[in-house]
Amino acid sequence: MARERPAELDVGGLKAAGGQADKTAVDEPREVIVEPALDRISVAQATEVAELRAALRRFLHRSERIARESGLTPQRHLLLLLIKGARDGSETSTATELAERLQLAQSTVTELVGRAVAAELVERRRSAADHRVVELRLAPEGERRLALSLRSHGEERAWLIDSLSEYGILADA
């Protein structure tokens, strides 16, 4: 059975559009020319990236612990946070918006939302503007647990912002 090729194929770092790989890239090795300045990074560059990754990992690890202490899984915590913190300030979201923000498949988000609804953390409502759209809003228990979690996150957020500012990653923080 033949496999379908994706619309854009990455072959050894070379992208071919239209589902057809560059025949030369697949069949014959190409000489890669690397400029001397591009084949190494400085210790300072590596340290900055390593510190950023370590700071983010520390924040995520502690955030997951705080979420669990608030009676939420890390996934539910993030779901509640993204609904409450909707970009438009409405405190509502849709499964489509959440899938985009979480970078997850819509089916995965729908399942996560379904579990949050069953746990009485999230409520579903038809949009007043478009009855085809289902809006998600925090239920009172979801509000309570998210508030508990966010109060506990204050120190962690301040630490992360300080860490990012120290390495020049955040300007004027």
Tens of pLDDT, residues 106-148: 999 999 999 999 999 999 999 888 999 999 999 999 999 999 9
Give the Cα separation of 71 and 155 in Å (integer).
Answer: 19
If we measure between CA atoms, which residue out of 73, 155, 153 comes closest to residue 111? 73
pLDDT at 123: 97
Q: Which long-range contacts (CB under 8 A, 24 or more apart) does 40-48 make?
A: 48/167, 48/168, 48/169
CA distances from 19 to 1, 6, 76 (A): 17, 5, 38
What's the mean pLDDT when you consider all of the chain? 81
Give the Cα separation of 119 and 110 in Å (integer).
Answer: 14
Q: Which amino acid is at 36?
A: P
Tens of pLDDT, residues 4-49: 433 443 333 333 344 444 444 445 666 666 555 667 889 988 888 8
Q: What mean pLDDT is predicted for residues 81-90?
A: 94
E runs forming strands in 91-132: 92-93, 122-126
Within 13 Å and on the Cβ side, how many CA atoms surround 13?
A: 4
Quote the tokens at residue 49: 């990236």
Q: For domain 42-166, say whether CATH 3.40.50.1100 is its number.
A: no
Higher-confidence position of 104 and 156: 104
Give the Cα separation of 108 and 98 in Å (integer).
Answer: 10
If we measure between CA atoms, which residue out of 73, 98, 94 comes closest to residue 149? 73
163's CB contacts (< 8 A; 6+ apart) are 51, 55
pTM, whole model, 2 decimals? 0.69
Higher-confidence position of 169 and 80: 80
| Contact assessment for residue 164 and residue 52, using Cβ atoms and an 8 Å cutoff | yes
Structural domain spans, the chain: 42-166
Give the Cα separation of 154 and 147 in Å (integer).
Answer: 11
Give the Cα separation of 142 and 148 in Å (integer).
Answer: 10
